[in-house]
Chain A
């Protein structure tokens, strides 16, 4: 009903601080929609409803006897207005703590993007152009650009990792349901610590980058793909297959991270063209290398106890 109005209200409120936005307009006419509008028939019936207040009775609802009572009509209208008010309040307050509209950007993926990204994570050697496409100063949604980070793959990878870990522990006769929770919270804690460490080191080296915290979370979550491949190979074909596939995925993730982060962390120095002092440039290079090198270490650390 008022959904589009609320959306544009959000958009205007966020445009004022002039921050870099990720919530491109949902109803953009130039095809920059985050999500496809699948509400065709429903939208038609909704506009029909708002245009004709006497609609329900004219549409011939089966429970006409309830709706024809004016008191229940009033109660229904009051209840629905209360519900929409409550929802607006919750949305407004929740958006202050968890940037939900920004999160939506990271889940705007489709199957083609996921397939290409997974292929890129395992075999990044043939890909040439690692730049993220921008559209009027906002990054394009992941479904249109294979280089953009997303949160769908890391989230699914994390959950799959927990399940595969349970499976692997089961083959060693060590499984119990509590272990799933232990594995999940342990991996989550390592992830949080890694993101905090990267944030701290980015702050110390004063890199002027447009990497947000959620971007770093996404990059740190890409290693779960390699871990899952290693563990599954180890379960199917034995320890040698585990080590080989883990080695391949470690090198692939290392190259992927370096090529992606190089553009984000070192781009300022390279793009400005002027001579930057050697130590700072070197520091940034070391930072990129260490972030990329931390990924294989974590991949091994979190999976070696699953394959015995």
Chain B
């Protein structure tokens, strides 16, 4: 028979909470990328993103733009959200 019913469905089940966790972890991962030490070394720095002008930025430029804007915008909210989740995890496990 194997797993019980709840386990079997829950093995592929997601909850909204896991979605929030995934979002926090992914945003943390993007925010941790350091500009000088890492991104410039692999050719993904801010200055290498803006290519030609015109209406076709290209996929790489869009990705670099996205990374830069996530790092700029989400720095402070991430501090708050991470602290809140640390406190909650300590209290409620």
Q: Given A182-B13, A189-B16, A305-B12 in contact, is the A205-B5 Cβ separation under 8 Å?
A: no
Is A277 close to B, CB under 8 A? yes
Does A185 contact B14, Cβ atoms closer than 8 Å? yes
Q: How large is the interface on B (under 10, 10 to 19, 20 to 34, 35 or more residues)?
A: 10 to 19
Binds B, one of A26-34, A144-152, A170-178: A170-178
Cα–Cα distance between A186 and B15 once the two chains are bound (Å): 6
In the assembled complex, the CB of A175 is this many whole angstroms from the nearest CB of chain B, namely: 7
Most chain A beta-carbon neighbours within 10 Å: one of B6, B9, B10, B19: B9
Is B51 close to A, CB under 8 A? no
In the assembled complex, the CB of B13 is this many whole angstroms from the nearest CB of chain A, namely: 4
CB contacts (< 8 Å) of A182 on chain B: these are: 6, 9-10, 13, 15
Interface positions, chain A 178-231, Cβ under 8 Å from B, are 178-179, 182-183, 185-186, 188-190, 192-193, 203-206
Cα–Cα distance between A205 and B63 once the two chains are bound (Å): 10
Nearest chain B residue, comparing its CB with the CB of A204? B62
Does B15 contact A189, Cβ atoms closer than 8 Å? yes
Does B59 contact A204, Cβ atoms closer than 8 Å? yes
Q: Mark B1-39, 1 if CB is under 8 A from A, else 0.
A: 000011011101111101100000000000000000000
Q: Given A189-B15, A204-B62, A206-B62 in contact, is the A305-B8 Cβ separation under 8 Å?
A: yes
Nearest chain A residue, comparing its CB with the CB of B13? A186
Does B66 contact A203, Cβ atoms closer than 8 Å? yes
In the assembled complex, the CB of A303 is this many whole angstroms from the nearest CB of chain B, namely: 11
CB contacts (< 8 Å) of B5 on chain A: these are: 169, 173-176, 179
Q: How large is the interface on A (under 10, 10 to 19, 20 to 34, 35 or more residues)?
A: 20 to 34
Contact of B59 among A178, A190, A205 (CB under 8 A): A205
CB contacts (< 8 Å) of B15 on chain A: these are: 182, 185-186, 189
Cα–Cα distance between A111 and B62 once the two chains are bound (Å): 43
Count: A-B pairs, CB below 8 Å: 56
Contact of A189 among B6, B10, B18, B62 (CB under 8 A): B18
Cα–Cα distance between A175 and B63 once the two chains are bound (Å): 45
Is A280 close to B, CB under 8 A? yes
Cα–Cα distance between A182 and B13 once the two chains are bound (Å): 7
Does A192 contact B19, Cβ atoms closer than 8 Å? yes
Does B14 contact A190, Cβ atoms closer than 8 Å? yes
Does A280 contact B56, Cβ atoms closer than 8 Å? yes
Does B14 contact A186, Cβ atoms closer than 8 Å? yes
Is A283 close to B, CB under 8 A? yes
Does B12 contact A206, Cβ atoms closer than 8 Å? no
In the assembled complex, the CB of B64 is this many whole angstroms from the nearest CB of chain A, namely: 11
In the assembled complex, the CB of B16 is this many whole angstroms from the nearest CB of chain A, namely: 6
Q: Mark B47-60, 1 if CB is under 8 A from A, else 0.
A: 00000000011010
Does A188 contact B16, Cβ atoms closer than 8 Å? yes
CB contacts (< 8 Å) of A206 on chain B: these are: 56-57, 62
Most chain B beta-carbon neighbours within 10 Å: one of A175, A189, A203, A277: A189
Cα–Cα distance between A188 and B13 once the two chains are bound (Å): 10
Could you list some 25 contacts between A and B, CB below 8 A? A169-B5, A169-B9, A175-B5, A179-B5, A182-B10, A182-B13, A182-B15, A185-B16, A186-B9, A186-B15, A188-B16, A189-B14, A189-B15, A189-B18, A192-B19, A193-B19, A203-B66, A204-B62, A204-B63, A204-B66, A205-B62, A277-B56, A305-B8, A305-B9, A305-B12
